[in-house]
Amino acid sequence: MSADPNLWQRLDMTARNLMPSGLTLFLAIASVAPTRIPGFVGISPMLALMGIYYWSMTRPDLLRASVAFGIGLFVDILTGTPLGVHVLVFLLTHGLLVRQNRFFNNKPFHVLWLAFGVVAAGAGLLKWGLVAFLQTGAVDPHVFFFGYIMTVAVYPLAGWMFARLQLVVLKEE
């Protein structure tokens, strides 16, 4: 007795459709993984933001606002950030990119990278300001600055990886 091929096709399609959310969740976990580099956690790139940015821009149907909310809450819990900081940052990023989807269609990579730099600056400043306000204490702006530089510097590699995965994994849609 063999399984219904439609079942396998549906499972395959479901797995493919979950790839952007799963990858972004993996990046969120990877961004807080302990390293042996002193002080790196403070300046590590915002990997989850890269996933939210790319998939909200290219495939908002596969990375919905509810996923951005869940990943933001997960990052807040993992990092000990006041609850809601990453939720707000990721939801605003998602909403901005979904609304500006037409602008980003068929743009060359350097335009998308520049736009990511602007979005990452806004997201980082919002995160920095919210953490400073909610923790009622000063937060070192150097940490924000170096984290931002790392994030923008790593995005070309992440964007290339996302684009390749989109071509290979999501090609049959």
Task: Give the mean pLDDT per block of 10 residues along the chain (173 residues).
Answer: 72 88 95 73 85 95 96 94 96 96 89 96 94 82 88 96 90 60
The rounded radius of gyration (Å) of the Cα atoms in the chain is: 17
Measuring CA to CA, which residue among 145, 131, 134 is closest to residue 43? 145
Taken in order of first residue, the domains within the chain and their CATH numbers are 5-169 (1.10.1760)
